[in-house]
Amino acid sequence: MNINKATIDLIKAFEGCKLTAYKDVAGVWTIGYGTTARAGLGIIPVEGMTITQDEADRLLLDGLNKFADQIRPMLPADINDNMFGACLSLAYNIGVSGFGRSTVLAKLRDGDYARAADAFLLWNKAGGGKVIKGLVRRREAERKLFLTPVFEQMPAFDERTSPAQSTTVQASALQIASGAGAGVAAIGSLSGTAQIVALVFAGIVVLAGMWIMKERLRKWSLGDR
């Protein structure tokens, strides 16, 4: 269970980043990407506090890693990174204790992943039981991430280690050989003007092949494999 880019992007989008401390919808002093004193990251946001963008990014990653370490033991071992990311986003928003008593976790432990996905939508209220549109959108995004399959990465092609493996070099060599062969054939079978025309044409073919091969080898030397 790893923290993937989709998870970080989702959390950044909904938390937003404010480099000056502010009060969230629950009245809690917050800074950066939703970092509060409760996160235990060595920072206590207060009125007038400011941080840099680098500090905000670091606090987010530190917070996500801390929350991830706390919720991993709660979760079934077979969930994928998108499922884990959705749970992490929820826990980051409502706290580890809130996640620990959530229907999302209960349904996951029961193996009922479909109902676990739907249970994300229950956490759409702030203090006083008021439904918050931003939380509605976030829970829908978390549910969507939870239900998105994680596909295995396509196997990489074998890296070419020699210019001889280049199809362009191979085709150029064939072109040069064909041009040279045509020239030899012209000498043996033609005479006079026809022989000269054939030899000139064969020479052009050979020179063109040599130029193409030279350019391909130059690009290879520059790292274009």
Tens digits of residue pLDDT in 128-142 = 778 888 899 999 999
Residue 126: the pLDDT is 77
Check pLDDT > 80 for residue 65: yes
Nearby residues of 189 by Cβ (< 8 Å), 6 or more positions away: none
pLDDT bracket for residue 221 (50, 70, 90): very low
Active centre residues (catalytic) = 15
Q: How far is the C-alpha of 61 from the C-alpha of 29, rounded, in Å?
A: 19
Residue 224: the pLDDT is 46
Q: How far is the C-alpha of 34 from the C-alpha of 48, rounded, in Å?
A: 16
Residue 171: the pLDDT is 53
Kindly state the helix (H) or strand (E) to which residue 54 belongs, with its residue range.
Answer: helix 53-71
Q: How far is the C-alpha of 30 from the C-alpha of 15, rounded, in Å?
A: 10
Burial class for 12, CB neighbours closer than 10 Å (0-12, 13-18, 19+): middle
User: How much is the average pLDDT of 144-163?
Assistant: 61
Q: What is the dihedral of CA 71, 136, 24, 7, to 10 degrees?
A: 40
Q: 165 or 39: which carries more pLDDT confidence?
A: 39
Q: Tens digits of per-residue pLDDT, 77-92? A: 889 999 999 999 999 8
pLDDT bracket for residue 24 (50, 70, 90): confident
Kindly state the helix (H) or strand (E) to which residue 29 belongs, with its residue range.
Answer: strand 29-32
pLDDT bracket for residue 202 (50, 70, 90): low
User: How much is the average pLDDT of 2-21?
Assistant: 92
Mean pLDDT (the chain, rounded): 79
Phi and psi (nearest 5°) for 18?
-125, 120
Check pLDDT > 50 for residue 145: yes
CB crowding 48-84: b at 16 or more within 10 Å, else e: eeebeeeebeebbebbbeebbebbeeebeeebebbbb
**80 touches 2 (CB < 8 A):** no
Domain ranges of the chain: 5-147, 163-221
Q: What is the value of pTM for the model shown?
A: 0.61
Residue 183: the pLDDT is 54
Query: What is the separation, in whole angstroms, between the first and last Cα of the chain?
Result: 35
User: How much is the average pLDDT of 166-194?
Assistant: 56
The percentage of residues in the chain with a pLDDT greater than 70, rounded to a whole number, is 68
What's the CATH number for 5-147?
1.10.530.40
Residue 42 CB coordination number (10 Å): 8
Residue 191: the pLDDT is 67
**183 touches 203 (CB < 8 A):** yes
Check pLDDT > 70 for residue 161: no
Q: Tens digits of per-residue pLDDT, 103-134? A: 999 999 999 999 999 999 999 887 777 888 88
Residue 141: the pLDDT is 94
